[in-house]
Structure 1
Amino acid sequence: MAGEQRVISVFGSANMDLVAYVTSAPSLGETVMGRAFHTVPGGKGANQAIAAARAGARVAFAGAVGDDAFGTELRAALVDAGVDTGLLRVVPGPSGVAHIVVEDGGANSIIVIPGANGTVTGPDEEAAAVIGRSRALLLQLELPMAAVVAAARLPGAEVILTPAPAVPLPGELLAEVDLIIPNEHEAAVITGAADPGEALEALLDLVPEAVVTLGADGAIYGSRDGTRLRQPAVPVEAVDTTAAGDTFAGALAVARAEGLDARHALRFATAAAALSVRRRGASPSMPSRREIDRALARPEDAGSLGGAHGAS
């Protein structure tokens, strides 16, 4: 990879998703019968890397997997999507896993067990060099916070943070973030504001640009230059929303790297997210650049089947 310009780098998690499909998720102490079960490569970092690659970017992924069968499968999924895995390290022990319950209609709940992701302490020298040559660095919070902060502090790339899982964010991280992309819940945890519009304004006291994703209500954007935008969701019947937020983030990074303005970048990312919820699974649901471009040219191709979805 020496001397090669990277458009987007992703420093984040890779998990094997263990997905159960049910009519309704069980309450505490309740047992329900499921309809299907699948193992699907995922993890917020790997998801965003695959989303960005499929949306048309050259992508380098830095992270860790275990020396187990899941680790081999996770690397293969990234490679198959066109992601450069030269920075993906193998460590002794199990890979990360996520236990996911998906209800009819697409709503989901997730438990993440970090595994190899928990061993990551920060970008090594090779990863730091690649990140420094990147147009954008995508970060999430499924790695240890100290590792995320270390990556954010590297010079060069625009830092785009998806603050999930939702936790209070240290000032040392926020000081390095250029764009933050929380959903409504995450925005409320960070700011204490339940109203998304109020949360957006509070986020702009912390970082230069923010997008709050609103699921079926689309997304709202703000920047410190005074710009405020609302992007409606694309009408679509959601089957599985597991990867919608990661698809949105990866596609938005691609659009920004290609020089699209905020309005057109939001539209591009929203179309990608809407396409992803029509299919089951995380990485397998993410659309290609051809699919996104076709949906933008003909919105009905995104699947106007009732309901609506952006990203959450």
Structure 2
Amino acid sequence: MSTVSVQAPDGAPEVRRGDDVADLLLTLTEVAEGDVVVVTSKVVSKAEGRVRLGTREEALPGETARVVARRGSTTIARTHHGLTMAAAGIDASNIEAGTVVLLPEDPDASARRIRARILQRTGRNVGVVVTDTAGRAWREGQTDIAVGAAGLIVAEDFAGRVDGHGNELAVTAPAVADEIAGMAELAQGKLGGRPFAVVRGRADLVLPLYDDGPGARALVRAEGADMFGYGAREAVIRALRGDPEDHAPFGEPVSAGELIALLVAETNSSFEGTDDEVTVAIGDITDGRAISALAFAHGWQAFLPDPACRSSDVRLRPIRSSASEHQRHPLRSELA
């Protein structure tokens, strides 16, 4: 039988700038070798002085690497950490009116400091997870996830293993740091005033002393590796604009063959091409605009040989190999 338990102690005081988070935890509960200590990012941020005067809207630009989507008053933003969260993770709850709490500048570093302090105080080796609340694509509601981690295997790799029926697992990789964060939140509660939790029973996930592991950053998909880099509406706008600075979230360029197949299916133009360039014969500027947007959304950039030409063959090239030429003759500027 396997048993995993979580306890979230009551009695946590209001955290102020300069407070020692590990000390606060250890005054409330004991930790054992192999435990996983879970701390909310809000507590870490308060201790690190990440509280600001103003509103979430006022703080949003400084915490945003790029906007993923906007719907009404809600902004989904990719933070400088690489996290994709509502309002870039800025929180205005459980804090004095007129102030907001930003995410820690480096949640993994915060987790490492807490782990080292617990070792110093107790002599015990624990893993640490710093958590925050996030929504999920395709799902209603929110759950806590790991935004920082230290001394912990953050994702198990089951690829290549065989299940009980003899089937080989291909891409199964449980994000155990997120699962621990969600489990801890069940005990902490949103309004319980319990920002700390101790998870016991998964010492197998705790790394050896002085090995902090890859941190929660390892769970963040790189730009272009996420199939949903923009919201549905925003993706259309970005493709029509065709700004090379916007291309990364669309992912790596498709092959010339894939691009031609898409163009054949969606337009009436004729095509020929190689691996590095596709030439499209267009009849008018409307065709050119559609082709440019379709190409951009699939990692290619469209060019006119002559900026003054309004009806001509269009050349399409993978964005990575045509960045310098884009500065001279971008089709997008002709179609603006």
Choose 1 or 2 for highest CA Rg: 2
TM norm structure 2? 0.22
TM norm structure 1? 0.23
